[in-house]
A and B are shown apart, each in its own frame.
Chain A
Amino acid sequence: DTGVSQDPRHKITKRGQNVTFRCDPISEHNRLYWYRQTLGQGPEFLTYFQNEAQLEKSRLLSDRFSAERPKGSFSTLEIQRTEQGDSAMYLCASSLAGRWTDNEQFFGPGTRLTVL
């Protein structure tokens, strides 16, 4: 399967614990995006990378959230001291941005986080 993959698919944790999610983009894609979707809502933008550079961060991304893409390939999203309000689906997408591309985003299956 050469699509976007995310790991784990489901995570249940207790309030106050740290969690880390991984996203592997489509291999030649230079851009990687993180979104968060709460129940019954559309996804909301969190952050995105071009290669290893983090180009934009949403105000939704509090100090407890950090994202990295150290080698410009896979990315990790860490949430420290989780709160019940962090319970959501965390979606990753990737795209190929360039002068002659349409930069269409392709989504992974998501990681569903439940904070007890």
Chain B
Amino acid sequence: KNEVEQSPQNLTAQEGEFITINCSYSVGISALHWLQQHPGGGIVSLFMLSSGKKKHGRLIATINIQEKHSSLHITASHPRDSAVYICAVRSRHNTDKLIFGTGTRLQVFP
């Protein structure tokens, strides 16, 4: 079992829909990242959080430390949101390396 699991693996939506991507992890963490990866490979950091909730534009990220679960929400989705969204955690145990999920491929159709 992977230490970081994401669901769903693939997601299609119509423009304007509300989207939720889930991330569960099994290790103790000091922080969790949500990352966006477009075709061509470049990774952009969307959020880094260790508790509660963060919002940036149409994106909202939440984390529940007790349940070891995080969600990324996209409100009013748009075709330009089409990308792979990756959850990554930073272990609490004296290391800075990130452990990544396999990603959720999102396609938003007009």
Chain A contact residues, CB within 8 Å of chain B: 31, 33, 35, 37, 40-45, 48, 55-56, 58, 89, 91, 93, 95, 97, 102-110, 112
How big is the B interface, by class? 20 to 34
CA distance A107 to B31 in the complex (A): 16
Interface residues of B in 40-63 (CB under 8 A from A): 40-45, 48
**Pair count A-B, CB < 8 A:** 64
Chain B residues in the interface with A (C-beta under 8 A): 4, 31, 33, 35, 40-45, 48, 86, 88, 90, 95-103
- Give the chain B neighbours of A40 by CB distance below 8 A: 102
Main SS at interface, chain B: strand
Let me know if B41 and A103 touch, CB within 8 A: no
Q: Contact at A105–B42, with CB atoms within 8 Å?
A: no
SS class, residues of chain A in contact with chain B? strand
In the bound complex, do residue B41 and residue A112 qualify as a contact, i.e. CB atoms below 8 Å apart?
yes
Q: Which of B44, B45, B97 contacts A48 (CB 8 A)?
A: B97
B31 near A102 (CB under 8 angstroms)? Answer: yes
- CB <8 Å contact, B98 and A105: yes
23 contacts across the A-B interface (CB closer than 8 A): A35-B100, A40-B102, A42-B88, A42-B100, A42-B103, A43-B43, A43-B88, A43-B98, A48-B97, A56-B95, A56-B96, A58-B97, A89-B41, A91-B41, A91-B43, A95-B96, A104-B45, A104-B48, A105-B45, A105-B98, A107-B42, A108-B42, A109-B41
